[in-house]
Structure formats: structure tokens, C-alpha cells
Structure 1
Amino acid sequence: MAGSEGNKLWGGRFVGNTDPIMEKFNASIAYDQRMWDADIRGSKAYVKALQKAGLVTPEEMQQILSGLDKVFGEWSNGEFQIKPGDEDIHTANERRLKELIGEAAGKLHTGRSRNDQVVTDMRLWLRDAIATLKGNAIELINTMVERAAVEIDILFPGYTHMQRAQPIRWSHWILSHAVALSRDVEQVEEIRRRVNVLPLGSGAIAGNPFNIDRELLRKELNFDDISINSMDATGQRDFVAEFLFWGSMCLTHLSKMAEDLILYSTKEFSFISLSDLCDPFMPRQNAVFRLSRD
């Protein structure tokens, strides 16, 4: 290890530079760059809290906000250039901000740890993803309910163990899957409630020493609650695990419906016919292949 000062934004007391192999191993920018918007939103809220605490001047705050708006514009327009030293989205945005506005960018991270910054970004990003997925599920449920109403008089054999058991309505089959998806919507709403808790201001593990107004941060970022223990706030990811289980269950419900549709479209059953809508890259494959893959 060389005795010269390192070039990392998080360098602090460390000297020298990390080994190139470690650079590649440690880099997460390929994955977490999708959180660019959440990272910028978190930083914009935090600099407002810094200004209220008297840690940056109003002029510096406006300079940082303007710079962050420019970084946002570059990402939005597909113009942001990721550089080799950008190990993660946080490093990338801070590096670019410093290029745009100079030394004032260095004040943005005052009192903020990577620990509370990262988990805040994760919660913001996941909250947005939940809103999108919930909206998609509700749209599908509404379509299924409308379809069931139109086809309510169509009779259909109900199966147990692949044997015809009882007559049912086709609409009953449709709504059986709509009901499962409605539970998925209810469950993801509960998950969102636990996701939507503000960790920013927790520091690394022991809180923020600069009298940062966390209520201001909560309002700026539209969180419902504020975390009550800094070690728990920065150290746990159970909300991610909970969401992953939900995703697995939701996809299981969709897979069950897709498998039924595939089966009912075969020549052996011939209950339904699927659209000839093709895969643009595989024009000979119709919708049944889409169901089996998706």
C-alpha cells in the first residue's frame, strides 16, 4: 500500500489506492445505477436540512440544488457518463456534482453516512417500484373483472386432478385468478407501509451529530414515518426480503393462470384460442410461447 493519499470520496484516513481487482469486485454501479433518481431526491432533501441546520448557506444550497438538477437532466436524457472510478451510483452522482459546481459539492455529505444514504435510496426506489407493480396488478384485475362480466354465461368444466369434476362458469375461472391478485395487492400495500419509513439522518449507526431536522426530511421525501433506532435503520434489509417473497408469490399466481391458459389452448382441450400476436424477434412463436416464457 502506497503512502500517498487515496482518491476515494470515502477515503478519509485511508491512504493509497485500492487494487484494480478489488475495484471490479466491489463496484455495484452496474446494478444500483437504476437508483439514480432516488439518490438525487435524497440529496436534494438532505441539502435543505443542512441549510436549515446552518451547515450550508442559502447560496450554497441553491448551487447544490441547481447542480443536482443538471445531474438529473443528464440521467433523464441518457447523457450521464459513468466513469471507471464510479464504484456505485452515490459515488457517480457526487463525482459529477463536484465537476459541475466545484467545492460546494463537498458539503453535501456533511453528517450523512453511506449507510443511511444507501438504505434511503433503496426505500425510495422500492416505494416507486411498488407503486408501479400495484398499478399494473390493479389494471389486470379490472380487465379480468370486465371480461368475466361479458362472458358470464359461458359454461366450463371444472377440473380436479386433471379430471372433469363439476360444471362452472368461465367467469368463475377468471375471477379465481383476479381474487388471488387482489390479495397480492393487499399484501404489497402492507409492505409499502413498512418500506415507507425514513432512515435518513441515522448516520452510520449512532445518529446524526448536526441537529438535522428529520421531520423536514420526512416531508420532503414523502415518508409516512421516521425510523426510531439508528442501528436498526441502517443495518436491516428485512423490507427487501419481504418484497422479494411477495414478488415470488405474485409471480406464482400469474404462472398458475398462464399454465391454465396454455393447457386450455391445446388441441386436447381446445377451450380457448390464443392471439396470433408474435414475438417480434421470433415471428413464428405465437402467444402460447409468450405465456410459457413470461
Structure 2
Amino acid sequence: MSSKLWGGRFTGATDPLMEKFNASIDFDRKLWRVDIAGSQAYARALGQAGILAADEVAALVDGLDQVAAEWEAGTFVLHASDEDIHTANERRLTELIGAIAGKLHTGRSRNDQIATDVRLWLRAEITALRGHLHDLMRVAVDRAEQEIDILMPGYTHMQPAQPSSYGWYLLGVETALQRDTERLFGSYARINRC
């Protein structure tokens, strides 16, 4: 019997190459913050539903705060057995607070966790990217005003065409960035749903 969460039907050992292929911790370690936030929210929801006692919720939330502090300080130690961010955080939570950590999975699958984590992470990243895009658009407009008299060839079908200015070119870049920003926030609305 496998000790892996996904290995319940396997009778033999998994090839190390398969273990390496299946592990996602190298990628999803960046999800630690949202994984912990999602788990804390879920613990509170279990408490509100009467599934966990108030002291259990407090132990889970406080333990997850400790795990977050380790990530924040750069002292969180990943183990070879940590396949993904969930198993890493849950292993450490269990080390800190004991078996009560297992109650965090009441009614929740790892698939639920990753779907939540990715959506929360994308929300934050899109918001940050939107700010960077707005900054870049401001720079393009400011620079366009300065470069309005700098001549350059305009292009049509990848061929030089009528004369234009570098300022007008930069305004075209700003317009394209504006469309990209609108599309990005269109995706935000779809991501920000259950």
C-alpha cells in the first residue's frame, strides 16, 4: 500500500522518475500564501457549519499562521515527500498541532484546494499586473508627448509606408495595452467565481 495520497490502489513502489514527474512543488510553492488563506477560510467555514468546535478552528487557524510565518521568513523546510503545496503545508501543520490538522480535509478534496488556490493566486497576480500595465501606459503617453516631432516610417503590411512620428507610434502601443488590460480584467471576472 502506498503512503501517497493518490496511491491507494498501488501495491508496489512508485518509480522515482514517476515521483519526480508527478511532483508539482517546484511550481506551486508560489501558492503557499493563498493555500494557507484558503485553508484558514475553510476551517472557519467548518466552524460556522458546526462541524468543528471553536477550539479546533482556533488551533487550525493559529497553526496555519505559524506555517505562513515560516514561509514568510524563508525558514519553511520542504521535504522530499512533499508532492505539492498542500501536502507540504499539511505536513507542517500536523507537525505543529497534531492530528487535528487532518480535520481540515472534512468535505474538501485536493482538487478543491488547487482550484481555489489558482483562482486566488490569479486574482492577486492580475490585480498587480493591471497596476503595472497602467504605469506603462502612463509612461507611453508621457513619452509620446515628448517624441511627437521625432519622425519615423509608418508600416503597412510589414512594409514602410507614410511618415509618422514616434509619438504616434507610442500612442498606438498605449491603445494596444489598454485593450490587453480590458481583456485581462474580463478574465478576472470569470476567475473571481466559485
**2:14 counterpart residue number:** 19
Q: For 1:62, which of 33, 45, 58 is the aligned residue? A: 58
Highest RCO, 1 vs 2 (Cα 8 Å, sep ≥ 6)? 2
Distance 1:145 1:110 in 2: 53
- Answering whether residue 193 of structure 2 is matched by residue 197 of structure 1, we say yes
Report how far residue 40 of structure 1 moved: 0.6
**1:288 counterpart residue number:** none
Distance 1:63 1:115 in 2: 24
Deviation string for 1:145-204 (max 9, x for gaps)? 011122323333324466543222221011111111110000001011111112xxxxxx
- Answering whether residue 90 of structure 2 is matched by residue 108 of structure 1, we say no
Distance 1:16 1:49 in 2: 37
**2:115 counterpart residue number:** 119
Instruction: Tell me the TM-score normalised to structure 2 length.
Output: 0.90
Root-mean-square deviation (CA), in Å? 2.0
Aligned ranges for residues 226-245 of structure 1 at < 5 Å?
none
Q: Tell me the amino acid that sits aligned with residue 108 of structure 2.
A: R
Query: Alignment length, in residue pairs?
Result: 193
Distance 1:87 1:170 in 2: 51
**1:52 counterpart residue number:** 48
Report how far residue 54 of structure 1 moved: 1.1
Deviation string for 1:90-122 (max 9, x for gaps)? 011000000001111111111101121111111
Higher fraction of helix: 2
Distance 1:54 1:151 in 2: 65
Distance 1:88 1:162, change over 3 A: closer
Instruction: Tell me the TM-score normalised to structure 1 length.
Output: 0.61
Aligned ranges for residues 146-157 of structure 1 at < 5 Å?
146-157=142-153
Report how far residue 27 of structure 1 moved: 1.2
Structure 1 residues without counterparts, runs of 5 or longer: 199-294
**2:33 counterpart residue number:** 37
Distance 1:169 1:14 in 2: 67
Q: For 1:72, which of 68, 72, 82 is the aligned residue? A: 68
Q: Tell me the amino acid that sits aligned with residue 192 of structure 1.
A: Y
Distance 1:90 1:165, change over 3 A: same
**1:214 counterpart residue number:** none
> Could you say what secondary structure the match of 1:157 adopts?
strand
Report how far residue 14 of structure 1 moved: 5.3
Distance 1:106 1:159, change over 3 A: closer
Distance 1:129 1:179 in 2: 22
**1:136 counterpart residue number:** 132
Structure 2 residues without counterparts, runs of 5 or longer: none
